[in-house]
Copies of this chain bind each other. A is one copy, B any other.
Amino acid sequence: VSPLSSLIRRWERRSPLSAEDRAAIEALPVTRRMGERDAYLVQEGQPTTTCALLLSGMAFRQKLIRDGARQIVSIHIPGQFVDLQNCLLDVADHNVQALTRVELAVISKGALNDLAAARPALAKALWLDTLADAAIFREWIVNVGRRDAKSRIAHLLCELVLRLDAAGQGNHGAYKFPLTQEQLADATGLTAVHTNRTLQALRKDRLISLSSQALTVLDWRGLCHLGDFSERYLRHAL
């Protein structure tokens, strides 16, 4: 079975691919690669040579500012490219880090660009992936820019839960949740201390239970309401 079958499956949820398109994907030269937790998969400033599809584990993208503070700008689950933009960039403009131990399918930039040039339907699929990313970025801006701490974290959890569900990684409202509180803080623009207190509030409100990397949603409606969550922006991401 091809390492890119998860990609084909995800793209076919949007619309069916022709046999030739599927064959072209499966013919891509792929290298498997592992990454340890916290390992840098892409580093800002590095010349780019490949794109990587996440096969298992989770990863996130982040930027560092001068004083050393970190802002996480997205979180990735299996079936997604973690650095699709590198396909069209000479130099990486942000960092990608493994959140857990990860397994990657690495494809050369050139092969992916050739694929897009030769097969319009796949070019569109790649474009759509970029667009889905961008939609999430926009909502992420709103989250850190205009919501208070409780809403921010609630919103982030809602988004992750829907995406994990779509990827078949959740069962009955329970999820593996490998983010540390410090990482959750870096994703929401808060401090780790305040994130801790905010999580306690969410637990006291009986919205979630979260401990030892296990997240359970106790009150989905309530969490969505608190997080001011509407799933429209995830249209092409699920």
C-alpha gap A44/B139 in the complex (Å): 13
The smallest C-beta distance from A89 to any residue of chain B, in angstroms, reads 6
Contacts of A24 in B (CB 8 A): none
* B73 with A142: CB separation less than 8 A: yes
> A232 near B: Cβ within 8 Å?
yes
* Interface residue from B71, B133, B228 paired with A66 (Cβ < 8 Å): B228
* A145 with B142: CB separation less than 8 A: no
* A90-142 with Cβ < 8 A to chain B: 90-91, 93-94, 113, 116-118, 120, 123-124, 126-128, 130-131, 133-135, 137-142
The smallest C-beta distance from A86 to any residue of chain B, in angstroms, reads 10
C-alpha gap A232/B64 in the complex (Å): 13
Of the four ranges (under 10, 10 to 19, 20 to 34, 35 or more), the interface on chain A belongs to 35 or more
Which chain B residue has the least Cβ–Cβ distance from A119?
B120
Contacts of A163 in B (CB 8 A): none
Q: In the assembly, how many copies of this chain are there?
A: 2
Contacts of A65 in B (CB 8 A): 142, 146-147, 228
* A210-238 with Cβ < 8 A to chain B: 228, 232-233, 235-236
> Secondary structure at chain A's binding surface: helix, strand, loop or mixed?
helix
* B134 with A123: CB separation less than 8 A: no
- B interface footprint on A13-54 (CB within 8 Å = 1, 0 otherwise): 000000000000000000000000000000011000000000
C-alpha gap A214/B131 in the complex (Å): 34
Which chain B residue has the least Cβ–Cβ distance from A233?
B93
> A1 near B: Cβ within 8 Å?
no
Contacts of A232 in B (CB 8 A): 44-45, 91, 93
State whether A128 and B88 are in contact (beta carbons under 8 Å apart), knowing that A63-B139, A134-B134 are contacts in the complex: yes
